[in-house]
Homo-oligomer: A and B are copies of this chain.
Amino acid sequence: MTTATADFSTRLDQTAEDTEALLAKLLSDTLLSDEIARPKRLMDAMRYSSLGGGKRLRPFLVVESSAVFGVPRDAALLAGAALECIHCYSLIHDDLPAMDNSDLRRGRPTLHKKTDDATAILAGDGLLTLAFDIVTRDEIHSDPTVRLLLTRALARASGIGGMVGGQILDLAGEGRFGDREPVDVARLQQMKTGALLRYGCIAGAILGQSTQQEYQALDDYGRALGEAFQIADDLLDVEGDAAALGKPAGADAALGKTTFVTQLGIDGAKQRVRDLLARADSALSIFGAKGDVLKAASRFVADRKS
């Protein structure tokens, strides 16, 4: 392990730990400011699905893209926690019997298996809504315009032109609504998984009140990283180890899904990842050494084993 990798790994773990502690605080049973207690069953369900691990890659991207501009870490962590709430809600709803019907997630029963479908639907709705409570908070930035930009960008990344839209395209491609619909894998994944990862990268530019050029650089970086993430995911489904994944491998093939691997082949997909990493590095070049952690992040995303 090189020093740079060790440093990266330490930073990733530290942000995961800080995010876990922050989410635990945000999801505690204390009273809200409007003096209505939080229903325990709902909070337990939200905690089950958002606490207890995970790489916290999206919050990490928020923290590290913010660090480029010297944004206070606590502000970035809060914005990252909002993004993680969206990510966790999307997993809960995707796992539902009416959607992907998954029993396992990170080696544990999915929320609806642990509780029931109604609780899972509402816990997802609660996390989605909580994200917009968090991202508007005063502690994130003193300038309300910055918080508004961050809030609207989060809504766009999560909504019909982003994650939710990508999810329905994915189901359509599986033939869930009749005949299989033709899939533009790049576009689908740009929406389904790419939009939130990209948001993690531009969040730093928004919080750092960057120049337009710097924003564009992080946007380009985020798009490349998002696609590399998904190709790595598709490769893991073919070549990965079920134990490391915490879920069965080969799920895509079983569904007959169109993926980057079915489109490009294994070698083509690996070459595409190398091209994307070069594009990510190139986008970051304007930041000099300040972009080094993000460069390592795209490598981590591309090389991960789970």
| Residues in chain A within 8 A of chain B (CB atoms) | 32-34, 36-39, 41-43, 46, 93, 96, 98-99, 115-119, 121-122, 124-126, 128-130, 132-133, 136-137, 144-145, 147-148, 151-152, 154-156, 158-162, 164-165, 167-169, 171-172, 176-177, 187, 190-191
Say whether, besides A98-B117, A151-B151, A176-B118, A165 and B39 are in contact (CB < 8 Å). yes
Q: Which residues of B contact A155 (CB under 8 A)?
A: 129-130, 132-133, 136
Partner pick for A121 among B43, B46, B121, CB 8 A cutoff: B121
Q: How far is the CB of A247 from chain B (nearest CB, A)?
A: 20
Determine whether the beta carbon of B36 is less than 8 Å from that of A168.
no
A32 to chain B: closest residue by CB: B161
The distance in angstroms between the C-alpha atoms of A145 and B128, with both chains bound, is 22
Determine whether the beta carbon of A159 is less than 8 Å from that of B98.
no
State the majority secondary structure of interface residues on A.
helix
Say whether, besides A43-B160, A125-B93, A136-B155, A168 and B34 are in contact (CB < 8 Å). no
Determine whether the beta carbon of A133 is less than 8 Å from that of B152.
yes
The distance in angstroms between the C-alpha atoms of A98 and B93, with both chains bound, is 13
Determine whether the beta carbon of A122 is less than 8 Å from that of B152.
no
Q: Which residues of B contact A154 (CB under 8 A)?
A: 132
7 contacts between A and B (CB under 8 A): A41-B177, A93-B125, A99-B118, A99-B121, A129-B158, A144-B147, A147-B148
The distance in angstroms between the C-alpha atoms of A99 and B96, with both chains bound, is 13
Q: Which of A155, A176, A177 has the most CB of B within 10 A?
A: A155
Q: How far is the CB of A226 from chain B (nearest CB, A)?
A: 13
Q: Which residues of B contact A128 (CB under 8 A)?
A: 125, 128-129
Q: How far is the CB of A118 from chain B (nearest CB, A)?
A: 5
The distance in angstroms between the C-alpha atoms of A276 and B32, with both chains bound, is 25
Q: Which residues of B contact A144 (CB under 8 A)?
A: 144-145, 147-148
Determine whether the beta carbon of B133 is less than 8 Å from that of A156.
yes
Q: Which residues of B contact A158 (CB under 8 A)?
A: 129
The distance in angstroms between the C-alpha atoms of A128 and B89, with both chains bound, is 13
Determine whether the beta carbon of A121 is less than 8 Å from that of B148.
no
Determine whether the beta carbon of B116 is less than 8 Å from that of A98.
yes
Determine whether the beta carbon of A136 is less than 8 Å from that of B151.
yes
Determine whether the beta carbon of B34 is less than 8 Å from that of A161.
yes
The distance in angstroms between the C-alpha atoms of A19 and B148, with both chains bound, is 24
Say whether, besides A121-B99, A126-B159, A168 and B133 are in contact (CB < 8 Å). no
A120 to chain B: closest residue by CB: B98
The distance in angstroms between the C-alpha atoms of A151 and B162, with both chains bound, is 20
The distance in angstroms between the C-alpha atoms of A20 and B133, with both chains bound, is 27
Q: Which residues of B contact A43 (CB under 8 A)?
A: 160
The distance in angstroms between the C-alpha atoms of A303 and B38, with both chains bound, is 32
Q: Which residues of B contact A148 (CB under 8 A)?
A: 136, 144, 147-148, 151
The distance in angstroms between the C-alpha atoms of A159 and B36, with both chains bound, is 11
Determine whether the beta carbon of A161 is less than 8 Å from that of B121.
no
Q: How far is the CB of A100 from chain B (nearest CB, A)?
A: 9
